[in-house]
A and B are shown apart, each in its own frame.
Chain A
Amino acid sequence: MDLVNIFIKSAFIENLALAYFLGMCSYLAVSKTVKTAFGLGLAVIFVLGITMPINWVINTWLLGENGIFATDLTFLRLILFIAVIASMVQLVEMVVEKFSPALYSSLGIFLPLITVNCAILGGSLFMVSKEYNFSESVAFGLGGGFGWFLAIIAIAAIREKIRYSNVPPALRGLGMAFILTGLMGMAFMSLMGIDPAAFK
């Protein structure tokens, strides 16, 4: 039950894209059509779902004080996390290139850029700060990825529809996507509850 809670919380209430605004670059650039957004969303679920448990193992067994080196090595956290993420993304890139060349060419530069998608690294850092255990970190990874997937599908669908609306020419495309994301973010803020500290 606890795992289901974490999954739902990370997917909706603490949505990585719309509540924390992480992974915005690929979110805005690849959301022109639902089809490519779908592909990227699946890749993000996969990478988050895999890197989160691996990073948990690294953080607990290698870097922690109770790990095999019995010293506090947390200053290596950032570099090790990013190395795990980079190798996983490289793996995904090879698999996608092999099995779906069309998706590979439509994702273009944004497939390697999943490495620097802040949602992935940010997710791992959140996992550390929330002190999840192994199964909770799996649920958090999959839930966070699912939430990001839903967010990018939603904005892609809106952008496909808004193409038929009479938007001022200079605002078409990217400019409108920013404003739509801002509005969606405001809606998601009400799920999270507005932080009173911001109003001081």
Chain B
Amino acid sequence: MAETTVVAKQESPIKFGKKERKLITDPLNDNNPITVQVLGICSALAVTTGMRNAVVMSIAVVFVCLFSNITTSILRTRIPKQVRMIVQLVIIATLVTIVELTLKAVDFESYKALSVFIGLIITNCIIMGRLEAFAMGNKPYESALDGLGNGIGYGLILIVVAFFRELFGKGSLFDYKIIGHTGEYLINTQTSWLFGWYEHNNLMVLFPSAMFVIGIVIWVHRAWNPKLVDIS
């Protein structure tokens, strides 16, 4: 009896050892989707004008990334190589439609603010990139962890970038007004003796500033983790 339980334990696909933990933590740091793999930049530029959009978008991407990885991994031996992209896109498009309809029902305000970009999750390369690079060659459980890790790694950068863009571009966080020149802000620059010089930097709301902020995030990330430094 004791032997059979041990065997069953070894064969169980659900285990969380060092290798599995690495699948989740790797995309957060050493193999981050945005700063190292360079995937999913377009949406990172578009939705990071505010924290609220960034958070909703991150949740949506984590969901789609997780379940598309699982589905593709289950079907991976049955998908012919020649039509694999179309199959992958159908899986992604279905999940994105689920997200879109759910968001419409649960949080209509965010749905209105994000509508185009939720649709564009289909063309978010991080999702299809992980399907191509990982889920097509690995078992469902590992793929699920990989999808989860990559989704969270993507969301992390999105939120950091959105924090700086919203704070310096609009003077608010989650639409809660922090600093500005009218009374509704927490720090009123017209009455405050310390922040009288402060003005919003409108460039932070425009696209080029997203490139600058991500560039600086990459700089800080690589300075902190020197093994990522590009030698070539």
Binding site for B on A (CB under 8 A): 21-26, 28-29, 32, 78-79, 82-83, 86-87, 89-90, 94, 109, 112-113, 115-118, 121-122, 163, 168-179, 181-183, 185-186, 189, 195, 198-199
Q: Which of B22-30, B187-195, B216-224 contacts its partner?
A: B216-224
With a 10 A CB-CB cut-off, give which of A168, A178, A185 has the most chain B CB atoms.
Answer: A178
**Distance, CA A172 to CA B123, complexed state (A):** 28
Nearest-CB residue, chain B, relative to A173: B230
Bound Cα distance A108, B93 (Å): 24
B205, B210, B216, B230: most-surrounded residue (chain A CB, <10 A): B230
Residue of B38, B93, B120, B226 ringed by the most chain A CB atoms within 10 A: B38
The answer on a CB contact under 8 Å between A78 and B93 is: yes
Q: Are B85 and A169 in contact (CB under 8 A)?
A: no
CA distance A175 to B119 in the complex (A): 28
Q: A25-B38, A116-B122, A117-B123 known; A182 and B222 CB under 8 Å?
A: no
Query: Which residues of A have CB within 8 Å of B42?
Result: 21-25, 118
Residue B229 lies at the interface, judged by CB distance under 8 Å to chain A: yes
Q: What is the CA–CA distance of A144 and B24 in the complex, to the nearest angstrom?
A: 38
Q: Report the bound CA distance from A176 to B232 in whole Å.
A: 13
Task: Flag if A179 contacts B86 (CB, 8 Å).
Answer: no
Q: A28-B38, A28-B41 are in contact. Are A198 and B202 (CB under 8 A)?
A: yes
> Are A178 and B218 in contact, CB atoms less than 8 angstroms apart?
yes
Given that A21-B45, A172-B229, A175-B222 are known contacts, is A182 also in contact with B40, CB under 8 Å in the complex? no
Asked if A172 and B86 make an inter-chain contact with CB atoms under 8 angstroms apart, the answer reads no
Q: Tell me which residues across on chain A come within 8 A of B13, comparing CB atoms.
A: none
